[in-house]
Copies of this chain bind each other. A is one copy, B any other.
């Protein structure tokens, strides 16, 4: 069994499997012949950046990068890769945070950015048909110009793609009210290893015909099939939005506010938290962004149809925050003010990156009510392992981005122990390892911490149904024997 092959192909296939002399050369040649050299790039310098994504996961320079132009190209590529049993790594913008697009072994990278057409926008039935390479932010602008709304809004919306979002089942701040990508993919066309096209799902609001293959493929991190078309559900765009910033002395106060406002049946579309260390680092980076003095921040956003209703909910939100001990609540009604408040949240990631040579961001999820406990455990871990660990994220969903900052590469082992301690704490509290980044390469070794051997084996058998030889995006999700992670 080739070391990159995961999951282990069934025994009879291993027996059938005879490694070709140089499968990669054979595949590359076949692809050049089939698609032309302009589509198949073998230049090592140009291929090198396709080794990794925006995570810390290590990759190797692929033998070639194939820039697919059409779903036929995708079919041809997956046929030749399967015939030659070479690993293929599908990717679009490569903005993933868990190494899902990383080329972990020499192979073929399948670049889907050129499949970037919005094929259809059906205003009356509230749906769109898109290719996987459409940039999410571009799509937001397009549908909003029509009075429609596509809620999933990952932090990287300006650069990431709808295909990548579907592969990782991306979320974002608005998930608290609107749910994640999975709730918006009605149907899709995907190509499986070997090049077979598969149409699954529907164009209608409801449908229960057969198994939910669409839902299975969404969030499968490019390990089951490659999306070539997505049918997305849209909703009417809420005309009114207002944003609140609440500052608290402690994260426990902020946590109490979150529980209290949910208890009051308030459902802001966003409910973001920045812990004390985040606010401190932000203030150091840009003093104008925050008032002096230690604080922890909740950023809340409401949307709706009715001005009075929005006003009342806004004051109920403010009230819930003040009762929970907020020092100040700032309500932004106009766009400029809203932008200023969001700037704080949006600069977070960059501000942290600027603080240290290395930064890793985990996206653990705890039960909403246990967010303060999860944060205090994170603080204890930070002290015990002497790692700087600012945390922020989607408090309404209990989804925290706990960051790990370090400068000296020699500190990496300590960081890894801290990450493991965070994962243990998350699972102790009844949480899950990933809310929106996926498992990819970085969390694969920890999958058994959350899931039973029976469930993992079941998922590997599901993978084999789509990809018997294990050539599609190998090394992702499932821990490899003897593999201890990045």
Contacts and interface: CB of A to CB of B under 8 A. Distances in A.
Interface of A: 12, 122-126, 147, 168-169, 171, 175-176, 179-180, 182-183, 192, 196-200, 202-213, 215-216, 218-220, 224, 235-237, 239, 259, 262-263, 265, 267, 304-306, 308-309, 312-313, 365-369, 394, 396-399, 430-439, 443, 447, 450-452, 454-456, 458-459, 461-463, 465-466, 477
Given A183-B183, A309-B305, A368-B125, A219 B213 contact: no
Contact of A397 (B206, B239, B312, B436): B206
A246 B365 CA distance: 45
B219 A208 contact: yes
B265 A462 contact: no
Contacts of A259: 124
A368 B477 CA distance: 38
Nearest to A306: B309
A204 B124 contact: no
A216 B267 CA distance: 28
A9 to B, nearest CB: 14
Nearest to A258: B124
Contacts of A394: 206
B455 A199 contact: yes
B124 A369 contact: yes
B305 A308 contact: no
Contact of A267 (B175, B236, B237): B236
A438 B265 CA distance: 33
Contacts of A398: 204-206
Contacts of A239: 265
A206 B437 CA distance: 11
Given A125-B369, A176-B205, 5 more contacts: A126-B368, A175-B206, A213-B459, A305-B313, A306-B308
Contacts of A210: 439, 447, 451, 455-456, 459, 477
Contacts of A452: 198-199
A207 B308 contact: no
Given A182-B215, A455-B213, A461-B465, A208 B369 contact: no
A91 to B, nearest CB: 18
Which 7 pairs show the lowest CB-CB distances between chains A and B?
Answer: A236-B265, A215-B215, A207-B432, A306-B309, A309-B309, A206-B435, A205-B397
Nearest to A218: B212
Nearest to A452: B199
B182 A212 contact: yes
Contacts of A208: 168-169, 180, 219, 434-439
Given A124-B369, A179-B183, A306-B312, A212 B206 contact: no
Contacts of A205: 175-176, 365, 368, 396-399
18 contacts: A125-B368, A125-B369, A126-B368, A168-B208, A169-B208, A199-B452, A200-B455, A202-B432, A205-B365, A205-B396, A205-B397, A208-B435, A209-B434, A209-B451, A210-B451, A211-B224, A237-B265, A462-B465
A198 B465 contact: no
Given A212-B216, A213-B458, A305-B265, A365 B206 contact: yes
A196 B456 CA distance: 13
Most buried by B among A308, A458, A461: A458
Nearest to A214: B215
B432 A209 contact: yes
A251 to B, nearest CB: 17
A458 B213 CA distance: 9
Contacts of A365: 202, 204-207
B125 A367 contact: yes
Contact of A431 (B204, B224, B304, B456): B204
B455 A367 contact: no
Contacts of A435: 204, 206-208
